[in-house]
Amino acid sequence: MRLLITAGPTREPIDPVRFLSNRSSGRMGYALAEAALATGHEVILISGPVTIPPPSGVQLIRIETAREMYDAVRSHLLGCHTAIFSAAVADYRPAQTASQKIKKTADTLTLQLERTEDILGSVRSQFGFQGFLVGFAAETENLVAHAQDKLQRKGCDLIIANDVSQSGIGFDSTENAVTLCFPDGQTTALPRQSKTALAHELIHIISSRI
């Protein structure tokens, strides 16, 4: 099986030396890539800037912005049987990127932001992907309801829902606890464990559903 996995944060430039981003470490996506490779699958990993090393044997494509991730997904998706979207894509980017470093002149500064491309949301509707589609949902409240809504809107076969209000799991952590949400309304809770162990369980569950 050939898998495409997105991972890590995106960076949206404000000026030549500054950007908007988030705390994603990329660990969940990299652990999924490693688990898939260990199971004998082929993996294309499309990754924002992270500090962890890529698993050996992966086809790594490095990107910075949401737009670059969108383009990379579009050009590598066809031919993949499964796509897993674990990246923490910026929802907004500066409407303009200053060509020179912004100097501190005024007492306040307002940045105008515009929406980025919804990459996962484009996969069925724009790219015509017909394979098994897995998204993540980072939520601080109404975990399952919000995840089910994303599953429907983005045409996913599985949403891995993450309660990001709990400290020590999820974003920027080595451990995670998730709830799997399926299109038939079924949910499965996977308890707190290392992202490595969780990734193996997730790849096993995804493989068994295909």
Q: Catalytic residue positions?
A: 22
What track of x and - describes contact with Ca ion for positions 89 through 118 (by CB under 5 A)? --x---------------------------
Q: Which does 137 bind (CB under 5 to 8 A by kind): ligand CTP, Ca ion, none?
A: ligand CTP
Cβ distance 111 to 136 under 8 Å? no
What is the contact mask toward ligand CTP in residues 142 to 171, using x (rule: CB under 6 A)? --------x---------------------
Angle at 182 between CA 7 and CA 142, to 5 degrees: 80
Instruction: Show Cβ contacts of residue 135 under 8 Å, excluding neighbours closer than 6 positions.
Output: 85, 120, 150, 151, 154, 156, 158, 159, 160
Q: How many of the other CB atoms lie within 10 Å of CB of 15?
A: 15
Start-to-end C-alpha separation, the chain: 10
| Residue 132 site contact among Ca ion, ligand CTP, none (CB < 5 to 8 Å, cut-off depends on kind) | none
Which residue in this structure is represented by tokens 């929802």? 91
Q: Which of 37, 135, 169, 173 binds ligand CTP (CB under 6 A)?
A: 135
Does 71 bind ligand CTP (CB under 6 A)? Our answer is no
Residue 68 touches which member of Ca ion, ligand CTP, none, C-beta under 5-8 Å by kind: none
118 touches ligand CTP by CB under 6 A: yes
Cβ nearer to Ca ion, comparing 71 with 91: 91
Under 8 Å CB-to-CB from 172, ≥6 apart: which residues? 23, 24, 25
Interface positions with Ca ion (CB under 5 A): 91
Interface positions with ligand CTP (CB under 6 A): 6, 66, 85, 87, 89, 91, 116-120, 135-138, 150
